[in-house]
Amino acid sequence: MKMTTHSAWIVLTLALIAFMPAQAKDDVVRLSYPSKVEASKGKEREKLFSPWMTGESMRSFIDDKRTKGEQIVFVEYNNTNGQSRGIFAKLKLTGPFSRYSFTNEAAMEEKLNNEIKAGLLPAFISRNVSGAYSMLFVSPGDMPAVRAELTKLGVGEPRLKK
């Protein structure tokens, strides 16, 4: 059977479409692997943490630190007593940031998706021994400075599954 030029183009076009990568939809759920936190730098990190505080106290502490030119770069949450603590670094963020703690993986993943859709990037996602997740999101322009501080602390980047 003889193939016409028109039929050849159709076959070629269909073959090209089949090999093109799929485009991600905005509602694609992005799951994550928590950041690797180096145990070898644990003693260094421990010296840098703020005291454990309630949520309201931590918010006030963060605001006070920001007026002094310091920014929260790492946070841990204790789901046993509902308190958190953070490590601060001398840097000024130019864009928005947000921090969250969750005891439920599904809620953490939902917030991850929402923050990414809003244009923020996860600087770290950690899971502590009690099973609580903590996350920090920053604007893309602030990510290099925040990642540099986290690298010094032995906190790796979170990996996103798509």
Maximum alpha-carbon separation in the chain: 80
More confident residue, 72 or 3: 72
Residue 135: its pLDDT value, please? 93
More confident residue, 114 or 13: 114
Which ranges constitute the DSSP H helices of 41-123? 42-48, 55-67, 105-117
**What are 54-112's pLDDT values in tens digits?**
989 999 999 999 999 999 999 988 888 889 999 999 998 889 989 898 888 889 999 99
Residue 111: its pLDDT value, please? 92
**What are 99-153's pLDDT values in tens digits?**
898 888 889 999 999 999 999 999 999 888 778 899 999 999 999 999 999 999 9
Q: Which two tokens stand for residue 1?
A: 């059977």
Exposed (0-12), middle (13-18) or buried (19+): which is 36, by Cβ within 10 Å? Answer: middle
Residue 15: its pLDDT value, please? 43
Which contacts (CB < 8 Å, 24+ apart) does range 21-30 have?
24/162, 26/117, 28/162, 29/109, 29/113, 30/109, 30/112, 30/113, 30/116, 30/160, 30/161, 30/162
Q: Which residues contact 59 (CB under 8 A, 6 or more apart)?
A: none
| pTM of the complete model | 0.74
More confident residue, 59 or 20: 59
